[in-house]
Amino acid sequence: MSQHRHFIIHKPYGYLSQFVCDQKKKKLLGELYEFPEGTMAIGRLDEDSEGLLLLTTDGKMSEYVRSSDVEKEYFAQVDGIIHEEAIEKLKSGVEISVEGVKYFTKPCKARRINPAPPFPERSRKIRDDRHGPTSWVSITLTEGKFRQVRKMTAAAGFPTLRLIRVRIGAIQLNNFPSGEVKELEDLEKCLHESFV
């Protein structure tokens, strides 16, 4: 039996996907659970993003999950009513900037979500409805550049207002409560067999 340990967490809004930070007053993952020494987040969700985050003490497993072999699905609430032309742009790839260099995103899966997914209100309100309509889109990637989904929807003309990662491989967020942590026996098996 592997001595490595693996966890899933529903990362709340406003937390960093890390355990140490030079800036005071930042909320860190260690405040949510007492993780064993050597635990690392597999890929990151930025401070403003929410949803499914995997953690492990196994560096090889971390590399595998971050590889193009494992899909990551995101639900993005965007500014405006996203149309089919923008969805097609997202699917075929858009130009974004990665560390100041132009990058064309790989083809991916994208679709409009209607009606809106029934997520609880975020701890910090998105914005007032008087500022215009919003809509939701699902984007499934096999790559993970810095703030990629946000950059992609902006490039398609619909800036992201709220971003939630809902799936990594076969592991789904579903109704897993925000801030909850669950330890997994066999992360590799879970990535291929939906259970959450």
* 126 Cβ contact list (under 8 Å, min separation 6): 77, 134, 161, 162
Nearest to 39 by CA among 58, 17, 53, 12: 58
Dist CA 11 CA 16 (whole Å): 9
* 96 Cβ contact list (under 8 Å, min separation 6): 102, 103, 104, 105, 145, 148, 151, 152, 155
| pLDDT tens digits, one per residue of 108-130 | 999 999 999 999 888 777 776 67
Nearest to 172 by CA among 62, 42, 54, 44: 54
46 part of the active site: yes
**For residue 178, what are the domain limits?**
6-67+170-192
Q: 123 lies in a domain?
A: yes
Successive 10-residue mean pLDDT values, the chain, 196 residues: 86 94 89 94 94 96 93 97 97 95 97 94 74 94 94 97 97 94 93 72
Could you say which of 22, 46, 128, 186 is catalytic? Answer: 46
Dist CA 188 CA 172 (whole Å): 14
The CATH number of whichever domain residue 163 belongs to comes to: 3.30.70.1560
Global pTM? Answer: 0.94
| pLDDT tens digits, one per residue of 55-81 | 999 999 999 999 999 999 999 999 999
Work out the widest C-alpha separation in the chain, in whole angstroms: 56
Dist CA 76 CA 90 (whole Å): 12
The CATH number of whichever domain residue 32 belongs to comes to: 3.30.70.580
Question: Which residue's structure tokens are 């997994």?
Answer: 184
